[in-house]
A and B are shown apart, each in its own frame.
Chain A
Amino acid sequence: MFWKYGLFCSILTGSIWGLFWQIICTMIGILTIGEKLYVNVVPFLIVGSLISVIYVFLQNKISIKFHLLSIIFMVLLIYSFTFGDPFLQKKTNSISTFLLVVINSFFTWISIYLSLKQINIGKLSRYNLEKFYLRLLWGLGLIILILITLLPFYIMIMTSLKNQQSLILNPLDLSLNSTSDLNVLFSSYIELFTNFNFHIFLFNSFLVSIITVFVTLFFSIPGAYALSRLRFPAKEWFSGSVILIYLIPSIVLVIPLYAVFSQLGLRNSLFGLLIVYPATTIPVALYMLRGYFNSLSKEIDDAAIMDGLSRFQIIIKIAMPLSKPAIVSVALYVFMIAWNEFLFAFMFLDDTDLFTLSRGIVSLNSSEIPQQHLMAGAVIATLPVMVIFLYLEKFLISGLSSGGVKG
């Protein structure tokens, strides 16, 4: 079978990475340089395959010098195969194009080197073959995933930093403005906070989210503990049906709730939201925490009872410290739900003073307000959650309960 041979593997790797990085570099070029670049398939395929075949033949002589030489060689190859015009710009070469080609060669070479490590030309053993294909797919998957997640962010942030004129001139040009004046660069943000009440929205969102987190935890920790440890009638039925609320789309709930809340005078208030939000988050919190409490040893609870603790003391002194990772992740989850919640905020809130961020951003969505303001609003809404998530990540990973029970 031809696909079991190292030569084929190297040609495959070279052509895939050559093409892949060229597409990405073209994209990067378009987004950062702001010129029209085109994907040039055939030459890059050929150069990639050539280089990877060379690598496979010469891999025993690898040194840093060899790496450098092959990258330089690849740049030369690209220029010669494309007749000096790698991205079909039909004009004399600029430094930026040259830089792109260098970046392209560098990443292509590194990718080829990483996926073809220890692969020889002849027929490959089963182990090496599997290793090779896994490495190739893993690398491709990883880079595609990174791109998919980072690209929208990049576009969002860059658009928010542009001004109206340059956006209309070339919507695809997402390079940074050459001005060094911060007031000009962040004009959209300044505008949002001074003229569009975003500081109030931000405060409202924080208030609602944090109170939702505390209310949810206040009810779900004892609730989950009871479901996990105590015996009471209809327990199984109850713990099963709690999650049922998620079978009902919130759009179905919002209409009757709108009517009821209007009559109770809860509609145009943050307090109304603070009733709805915990009601939607408590079931999941209950479910997640119950699962975690179940994984904790029941004998520890017994020991605590023998040591004279009441059930509430056990929750506070034993169960909560032990389930810190679970509580943190539940808190984070609830915070994100409340922070991002839109439907209820949209239906319930009328006063600008009460808007949460998601509701506030939507109020920007009219033809009079420029696109970069919207993007700046989105950045303001995203950043806090990202920061909190990155900060709390280490808590999520740490497994505190390990080692306390058994040998």
Chain B
Amino acid sequence: MASIKLNNISKWFGENHVIKDINLNIIDGEFIVLVGPSGCGKSTLLRIISGLEDLESGKILIENKDVTDKIPSDRKLSMVFQSYALYPHMNVFENIGFALKTSGINKEILTQKVNQVAETLKLKLLLNRLPKELSGGQKQRVAIGRAIIREPKAFLFDEPLSNLDASLRIEMRLEISRLHKKLGITTIYVTHDQVEAMTLANRIVVINEGKIIQVGTPKELYNRPKNLFVAKFIGTPKMNVLECTTINGNVYFIDKINKKTNIRCNNKDIQKIGFRAEKIIICETKKASFIGYAKFIEYLGAEQFIYVDVGVKENFVIVKEKPDIKVPLNQKLGLKISQKDIHFFSKNDTRLN
């Protein structure tokens, strides 16, 4: 268990500046998720923390001790990899116990510890199997076991669930969450899947193009995204974003249907407005904030997504509705949204309200 501090971390791959001056404070016992689109540098950042990648400038502090120049095993962190990275020529027992064995531990203690870990992860019956005889979920559990047994100061997860199928992913997600609650060890978790980030994290760090865009709890990120990137990245379906202008505090869409909306905004820098699909209510056209025409409906059982053409070119507004509401296609539809649920963005995509 440990706090981890990153001070002004920078990393270059040849000409590419992949990590740009990152500062981050991770509190003891926290579950931090690094999230961002592929190629944004989140995995590189994790590898820098683990020590597998070295860095051009900056400092890494674990428990307030500078570990920047220390080799990975001396940092006392353990890592779970996307491809599990189990040793194919060793059975489960040897895989889990390998780190302790190399550190030269007594054989009895080793056996005892491996058994203890296997107990926690329900691997007791699989100890004699080779990795190729395991299913994806079992492999992942072994990989986690290999991380746990060293009693590290922190866990590092590098997209650990992306090789699993959908249902197993949810199961393992819960297991990782449970494990974190049980062990209380600081965890840094990298994923490109924002759902994973939202469900697991105490705090989410959104990264794009090597920079931290926003750090916050899942709730903060969802309700008050700092800029358009975060707004679009967090949440399914994506936040609806429409270009607009204001005249006298009234918001106008740049479109052919809605000349005027009843949305008000006094900031003159406003260029885009955003709102979540579930915040829109279908209503009569007279009471509507703006109007549109339903074009497609996706029925999902528990809910339905309605794609509404509000006249903005190639940009549907997605409305999340209860599944039993009947929506006529290609007819005028009133959409209502309350002022407090609207996000305003400026010309350079930062949040205004």
Residues on A facing B (Cβ under 8 Å): 297, 299-300, 302-309, 313, 318, 321-322, 400-407
Contact = CB atoms under 8 A, between A and B. Distances in A.
B164 A405 contact: no
B73 A401 contact: no
Contacts of B83: 297, 299, 405-406
Q: Which residue among A303, A403, A407 has the maximum number of chain B CB atoms within 10 Å of its CB? A: A303
A405 B73 contact: no
Contacts of B73: 305-309
A400 B82 CA distance: 21
B82 A403 contact: no
Contacts of B77: 306
A300 B85 contact: yes
The 3 residue pairs across chains A and B that have the minimum distance between CB atoms: A403-B132, A404-B88, A407-B136
A406 B162 CA distance: 10
B222 interface: no
A161 to B, nearest CB: 46
Contacts of A302: 47, 52, 79, 81, 85
A305 B88 contact: no
Nearest to B98: A307
B84 interface: yes
Interface string B101-139: 011000000000000000000000000001111011001
Contacts of A313: 102
B79 A403 contact: no
A253 B22 CA distance: 56
Contacts of A303: 79, 81, 85-87, 146
A313 B131 CA distance: 21
B85 A405 contact: yes
B139 A407 contact: yes
A140 to B, nearest CB: 40
Interface size class of B (residues with CB under 8 A): 20 to 34
Nearest to A321: B89
Nearest to A297: B83
Interface in B57-80: 71-73, 77-79
Interface string B193-219: 000000000000000000000000000
Contacts of A307: 73, 98-99, 102, 146, 150
B139 A305 contact: no
Contacts of B132: 402-404
Contacts of B130: 403
A222 B88 CA distance: 20
B24 to A, nearest CB: 21
Contacts of B99: 306-308
B50 interface: yes
A328 to B, nearest CB: 14
A322 B52 contact: no
17 contacts: A299-B81, A299-B82, A302-B85, A303-B85, A303-B86, A306-B50, A306-B52, A306-B79, A307-B102, A309-B73, A313-B102, A402-B132, A403-B132, A404-B88, A405-B84, A405-B85, A407-B135
A405 B130 CA distance: 12
Interface of B: 47, 50, 52, 71-73, 77-79, 81-89, 98-99, 102-103, 130-133, 135-136, 139, 146, 150, 163-164
Given A306-B79, A307-B73, A299 B88 contact: no
Nearest to B137: A407
A406 B86 CA distance: 9
Contact of A297 (B47, B79, B85, B136): B85
A306 B84 contact: no
A164 B323 CA distance: 99
Nearest to A298: B85
B76 to A, nearest CB: 10
Nearest to A307: B99
Contacts of B79: 302-303, 306
Given A302-B79, A306-B78, A308-B103, A405 B72 contact: no
A313 B103 CA distance: 12
Contacts of B84: 405-406
A190 B23 CA distance: 82
A300 B87 contact: yes
A322 B85 contact: no
Contact of A306 (B72, B89, B164): B72
Nearest to B99: A307
Contacts of A404: 86-89, 131-132
A405 B86 CA distance: 7
A309 B131 contact: no
Contacts of A405: 83-86, 88
Contacts of A407: 135-136, 139, 163-164
Contact of B88 (A304, A308, A309, A400): A400
Given A297-B83, A405-B86, 18 more contacts: A299-B85, A302-B85, A303-B87, A304-B87, A306-B50, A306-B78, A307-B98, A322-B88, A403-B131, A404-B86, A404-B88, A404-B131, A404-B132, A405-B84, A405-B88, A406-B83, A407-B139, A407-B164
Contacts of A304: 87
A297 B82 CA distance: 11
Nearest to A402: B132
A326 to B, nearest CB: 14
Contacts of A305: 52, 71-73
A154 to B, nearest CB: 42
A407 B136 CA distance: 5
A349 B135 CA distance: 59
A302 B50 CA distance: 10
